Chain A
């Protein structure tokens, strides 16, 4: 049973077909890699799933419920979080406040009352400690290094406990030591029950971390399976190396 099912998804930008009749199935509990050459439609697929852009055709179901047509906040409320290609945090909020922003299943009282924050603050501090950036809790987001922003963005998206997280290039622009820490934290979060779908160009990162890999090319899925099998798939080799 798949957690996320994408059927016959299509998106055109003028004359450019970004996603073309794409069908994907993301199993629950795994770390799935979504790879493909530049311009193959990976980020567009993320944007379509999370409601940032409207699809032309197709259908998206999450936990067997239709979610297409929902806005990004409603998609997050259903349990799908995402990060962005370039780490996006709230620069004029502190690192701790960045983790307190996410809203999911909050009643009106919780939204407008200043009380009842202590639990959420403790949870946010735990998350910062888990990510090993608790020393910058009081620092403004804009003053953090790029690596710290990447971790903070991951922490923020995890705060409301989404079932599925879409990570757009988590290894992009990150040094090797931090890369290892990110991979380690993702494995831990996955072992606690979060399913991940990762767009990434760093192949060794994908092959070491992911249990399944889906390859898209020109907006369509061309291969899927275990990392080793995908690596030697002729269609994949052709997409990456061919004309």
Chain B
């Protein structure tokens, strides 16, 4: 009991320390190269956490979440244009609206997509993403098509430019983690994990699997849409092929697999490892997409060495050591 309490206290202290450090990071290191890296890392922390709510908890692997990311970006861009909102802090107020619109769209997509399971679901989500990309390219009067869609210019200059986006991404990452944490400890979350283990069995004990999956899908997409909308405002100009980019979807999936599928902190760990590495490669070797080689290598290593990801593998290792320690002591006793 004491051990459990100590562990919880230690975790709470660690969490407060990490959060404090994250809050003051722009003050410690305000250079735009650093804060830009931090903005993208936090973006992927949020994206991977949001994806994990669907993919990790229910086991339904969606490779189409980049569609929600792009939809959120277009939703905010169009809202700001239609409402003639100028650059500044005001666009951030419309981020939840972009998320809500994305959630509504996800409800429609999920209604059909979640009639399928396993590989079919994966294919349906990919098809949805490419459909959305095609729509963004072809609905030129609405989205600007290949010419892109512009956002109002943020008024900030120099090193400060990234700071509002940094805190917006931090808020969304914390929101995603809070949602993920509360789902994980609820009966709804347990139902999602049961669906992941055996959907038919879950149905047999009353879990309304379709409603649960759809709810998780919509929550996940809403968070991704909100993050996509902040990204759109950050880059100020969005194009279909870059904002509805399969690589964004694959990145969030890979981060979750690396850190630990279905765990709370796995997606965070995966994002914190992979995104800075990807940006480092981009800074040092140009826009060569060399990071794709890194991603492939990481994916292969994860599948071969730690199919459950870092956190579950380390947890298992610690449990094994703890279990074997008393046995070893008993063996050494005279």
Q: Do A and B come from one complex?
A: yes
B190 within 8 A of A: yes
Of A71, A89, A160, the contact of B201 (CB 8 Å cutoff): A89
| Contact present for B197 and A90 (CB under 8 Å) | yes
Q: Could you tell me the distance between the alpha carbons of A74 and B198 in the complex, rounded to whole angstroms?
A: 17
Kindly supply a per-residue 1/0 record for chain B positions 280-308, scoring 1 wherever the CB is within 8 Å of any chain A CB and 0 otherwise. Answer: 00000000000000000000000000000
| Contact present for A157 and B200 (CB under 8 Å) | no
Kindly supply a per-residue 1/0 record for chain B positions 182-193, scoring 1 wherever the CB is within 8 Å of any chain A CB and 0 otherwise. Answer: 100111101101
Instruction: Considering the complex, give the chain A residue whose CB is closest to the CB of B196.
Output: A92
Instruction: Considering the complex, give the chain B residue whose CB is closest to the CB of A83.
Output: B204
Q: Which residues of A contact B187 (CB under 8 A)?
A: 100, 103, 106, 110-112, 117
Instruction: Considering the complex, give the chain B residue whose CB is closest to the CB of A120.
Output: B187
B208 within 8 A of A: yes
Q: Interface majority SS on B: helix, strand, loop or mixed?
A: helix
> Are A50 and B205 CB-contacts (below 8 A) given A101-B194, A103-B191?
no
Q: Which residues of B contact A84 (CB under 8 A)?
A: 201, 204
A77 within 8 A of B: yes
Kindly supply a per-residue 1/0 record for chain A positions 144-168, scoring 1 wherever the CB is within 8 Å of any chain B CB and 0 otherwise. Answer: 0000000000001101100000000
Identify the interface centre among B182, B194, B205, B209: most chain A CB within 10 Å of its CB.
Answer: B205
Of A82, A89, A112, A159, the contact of B186 (CB 8 Å cutoff): A112
A173 within 8 A of B: no
User: How distant is A167 from chain B, measured CB to nearest CB, in Å?
Assistant: 12
Of A82, A93, A101, A112, the contact of B207 (CB 8 Å cutoff): A101
> Are A112 and B188 CB-contacts (below 8 A) given A101-B194, A103-B208?
yes
User: How distant is B133 from chain A, measured CB to nearest CB, in Å?
Assistant: 34
A33 within 8 A of B: no
| Contact present for A73 and B209 (CB under 8 Å) | yes
| Contact present for A93 and B205 (CB under 8 Å) | no
Of B196, B197, B207, the contact of A103 (CB 8 Å cutoff): B207
Q: Which residues of B contact A69 (CB under 8 A)?
A: none
Q: Could you tell me the distance between the alpha carbons of A92 and B185 in the complex, rounded to whole angstroms?
A: 15
Q: Which residues of B contact A114 (CB under 8 A)?
A: 182, 185-186
| Contact present for A93 and B206 (CB under 8 Å) | no
Tell me the total A-B contact number using a CB cutoff of 8 A. 87
Q: Which residues of A contact B197 (CB under 8 A)?
A: 90-93, 141
| Contact present for A82 and B204 (CB under 8 Å) | yes
Q: Which residues of A contact B206 (CB under 8 A)?
A: 73, 76-77, 102-104, 160
Q: Could you tell me the distance between the alpha carbons of A81 and B185 in the complex, rounded to whole angstroms?
A: 25
Q: Could you tell me the distance between the alpha carbons of A184 and B105 in the complex, rounded to whole angstroms?
A: 53
> Are A50 and B185 CB-contacts (below 8 A) given A90-B194, A93-B193?
no
Q: Which residues of A contact B202 (CB under 8 A)?
A: 90, 101
B15 within 8 A of A: no
A135 within 8 A of B: no
Q: Which residues of A contact B209 (CB under 8 A)?
A: 73
Within 8 A of A (CB), among B146-195: 182, 185-188, 190-191, 193-194
| Contact present for B186 and A101 (CB under 8 Å) | no
Instruction: Considering the complex, give the chain B residue whose CB is closest to the CB of A113.
Output: B186
| Contact present for A50 and B207 (CB under 8 Å) | no
| Contact present for A102 and B193 (CB under 8 Å) | no
A52 within 8 A of B: yes
B247 within 8 A of A: no
Q: Could you tell me the distance between the alpha carbons of A113 and B183 in the complex, rounded to whole angstroms?
A: 8
B318 within 8 A of A: no
B85 within 8 A of A: no
B203 within 8 A of A: yes
Of B188, B193, B200, the contact of A111 (CB 8 Å cutoff): B188
| Contact present for B200 and A52 (CB under 8 Å) | yes
Q: Could you tell me the distance between the alpha carbons of A97 and B187 in the complex, rounded to whole angstroms?
A: 10
Q: Could you tell me the distance between the alpha carbons of A90 and B203 in the complex, rounded to whole angstroms?
A: 12
A72 within 8 A of B: yes
A88 within 8 A of B: yes
Q: Could you tell me the distance between the alpha carbons of A52 and B194 in the complex, rounded to whole angstroms?
A: 17
Of A71, A88, A89, A100, the contact of B190 (CB 8 Å cutoff): A100
Q: Which residues of A contact B191 (CB under 8 A)?
A: 101, 103, 111
Q: Which residues of B contact A101 (CB under 8 A)?
A: 190-191, 194, 202, 205, 207
Instruction: Considering the complex, give the chain B residue whose CB is closest to the CB of A142.
Output: B197
User: How distant is A140 from chain B, measured CB to nearest CB, in Å?
Assistant: 10
Of A52, A110, A113, A157, the contact of B205 (CB 8 Å cutoff): A157
Q: Could you tell me the distance between the alpha carbons of A103 and B182 in the complex, rounded to whole angstroms?
A: 18
Q: Which residues of B contact A160 (CB under 8 A)?
A: 205-206
User: How distant is B230 from chain A, measured CB to nearest CB, in Å?
Assistant: 26
| Contact present for B203 and A73 (CB under 8 Å) | yes
Q: Which residues of B contact A74 (CB under 8 A)?
A: 208
| Contact present for A92 and B204 (CB under 8 Å) | no
Within 8 A of B (CB), among A40-82: 50, 52, 71-74, 76-77, 81-82
Q: Could you tell me the distance between the alpha carbons of A109 and B234 in the complex, rounded to whole angstroms?
A: 37
Q: Show 7 A/B contacts (Cβ-Cβ < 8 Å), sorted by A.
A: A84-B201, A89-B198, A90-B194, A93-B193, A106-B187, A110-B187, A160-B205
- 14 more contacts with CB within 8 A, not counting A71-B203, A117-B187, are A72-B203, A73-B203, A84-B201, A88-B198, A89-B201, A90-B197, A93-B193, A102-B206, A102-B207, A103-B206, A103-B208, A106-B187, A114-B185, A160-B205
Q: Which 4 A-B pairs have the closest CB atoms?
A: A76-B206, A72-B203, A90-B197, A102-B205
